[in-house]
A and B are shown apart, each in its own frame.
Chain A
């Protein structure tokens, strides 16, 4: 298994890598087969990567790829079964108590469902100031209200009475903006955005994406953008990592990946999305057949081999490893295209 260190190009500055994930494995128990043998969902199965400060790291994949789980591991909402995640050199999977609480000031999350990510019994003011209260950042009520007002203004919710509203009185786009304001309340350095716009109408998505880019510049944020929508990730990400069934199959700078994908699955993803555009040339010569197999009993060897039209002898016996094929471009495949 390649270490995270070896993954980075020789001239990369380790000092600028914010996160280093190494051999991450997250297995969830899933009943038993027979009386004793336990079954597991292999949500994340040996993933390593680096995230650099100031970048937008796009993590794409379909359901069951493990992308959301990785986001949750970085946020310490889920514990990995094994592996390490270093945040500026410290292993966050081992944090407890006070140090964990401090970590929570640095890393925040924006959730997918604008309707379920706000407590129905909290006003907007309560929701946004809650993290501030928990972290002890509030001196007095007035100050908190003013801070909240500023934050809401910054995310595009400008009216005075928004603060006293309850989530059910806001639209989807507004609620998502409140979530963003809440995430910013503790001035984090890193935000995991888990499908931030996929439950919003296309016409509302633009506003949220613009906002996220503006805030990134203004607050000097680093993002992990988790999405299944390639159009969104292509627009926003500096680097894109493609995941399939718990494995990282390709990782490359955004533009490079959208131009040409080496991994057959990446090709399938990109071509599926590209053909949505008007008159989009469907570059792919094959269309995806079959469905994503179960993560409890994943295929042997390369996870994608049952669906891959380019598979070779090795593919069902051995698991390919992530190797660097070009500067900053990594691939895990025996028969790249």
Chain B
């Protein structure tokens, strides 16, 4: 399988009055063509920041401090404005968190999609409109809805419209950030089915970001578990669930209701994530880890491939 995206040692920080907040701290992973890559973690663990970095959307006070993002051989972080224009939305696009609530309320859906196409591609307005119609039909919205305003569509439909917008220019990579949060369960299923359908149809690579590890599990080929801006474990989904090696991953899985019988206690990880502006010389999960070794507070574990295609950052496992 070919590699489409390579993220190497990415570090992104927000520079605020009180100091540097390390939202992403030395994260590396790659995404292959045609795969669904899941990024899971609690809120504020850095997953959205990674997504924004891939499209170079980080704004002050945030800054990409270090690392490389290689998309199809080219380093995104070194692209010129012109190259970026050809990259964004055409090669890689994104469905943002809460996008369905960020549609412009005073423009019709059809024209919003048309505008998105026209901004990034040099086609005539008529062609763009035609493409918008096709896209809406593709995502399961009737043609007649082209003229509707966002508030006339339900949550699920708006999310589908947003997905249509993201796919307008046939990107190779689609990043979906919490695409199903705030949707009803049946609609969630529909949106996820749609994403998978689109992936197949367009031969996309899909990066799926969520705090809901169990939802992702059904979709993702491989998954990365993030904690406090760092990558903890990365493996094939089946492998990750059948033999999770990192204490954090194991804790997460044990806290899922679907894996526990009624009456049994759910496992809950005590404590809360650390401040991201403090220097954490050792493992960031250490304060909450039940299995820590002596060196864990001071020795930050690197990402090591302990089994074929199974990476983990844990002192206990790698030492």
Contacts and interface: CB of A to CB of B under 8 A. Distances in A.
Interface of A: 62-63, 171, 173, 201-207, 209-210, 213, 228-232, 234-236, 254-255, 268-269, 271-273, 275-280, 287-288, 291-292
A203 B184 contact: no
B17 interface: no
Given A228-B184, A230-B185, A277 B262 contact: no
B252 interface: yes
Given A203-B255, A234-B257, 10 more contacts: A201-B211, A203-B211, A206-B268, A210-B268, A235-B257, A236-B262, A255-B262, A272-B186, A275-B189, A276-B258
13 contacts: A62-B187, A205-B255, A205-B257, A228-B184, A228-B185, A230-B185, A231-B214, A235-B262, A276-B214, A277-B259, A278-B217, A288-B189, A288-B190
B218 interface: yes
A14 B186 CA distance: 36
Give the one of A269, A272, A276 with max B CB within 10 A: A276
B269 A203 contact: yes
B213 A272 contact: no
Contacts of A255: 262
Contact of B156 (A202, A236, A291): A291
Nearest to B266: A206
Given A206-B268, A231-B258, A278 B185 contact: no
A229 to B, nearest CB: 7
A206 B190 contact: no
Contacts of A288: 186, 189-190
A63 B268 CA distance: 28
B11 interface: no
B218 A278 contact: yes
B262 A254 contact: yes
B262 A276 contact: no
Interface of B is mostly: helix
Interface of B: 42-43, 154-157, 184-190, 193, 211-215, 217-218, 237-238, 241, 251-252, 255-260, 262, 265-269, 272
A273 B185 CA distance: 7
B138 to A, nearest CB: 15
Nearest to B272: A171
B184 A62 contact: yes
Nearest to B155: A63
Q: Which 5 A-B pairs have the closest CB atoms?
A: A206-B255, A207-B268, A272-B189, A62-B184, A206-B266
Contacts of A278: 214, 217-218, 237-238, 241
B174 to A, nearest CB: 20
Given A62-B187, A235-B266, A291 B154 contact: yes
A201 B187 CA distance: 20
Nearest to A258: B262
Contacts of A254: 262
Contacts of A206: 255-257, 266-269
Give the one of A62, A202, A210, A278 with max B CB within 10 A: A278
Contact of A63 (B184, B258, B265): B184
Contacts of B238: 278-279
A201 B43 contact: yes
Contacts of B211: 201-203
Contact of A202 (B155, B187, B214): B214
B94 to A, nearest CB: 22
B185 A277 contact: no
Nearest to B44: A201
A209 B255 CA distance: 10
Contacts of A275: 189, 218
A203 B252 contact: yes
Nearest to B156: A291
Contacts of A277: 214, 217-218, 258-259
A271 B265 CA distance: 24
Contact of A62 (B185, B214, B267): B185
A280 B251 CA distance: 21
Contacts of B42: 201, 203-204
A280 B238 CA distance: 12
B262 A234 contact: yes
Given A62-B186, A228-B185, A269-B185, A276 B255 contact: no
Contacts of B258: 231, 276-277
B255 A287 contact: no
Contact of A276 (B155, B184, B218, B251): B218
A276 B43 CA distance: 20
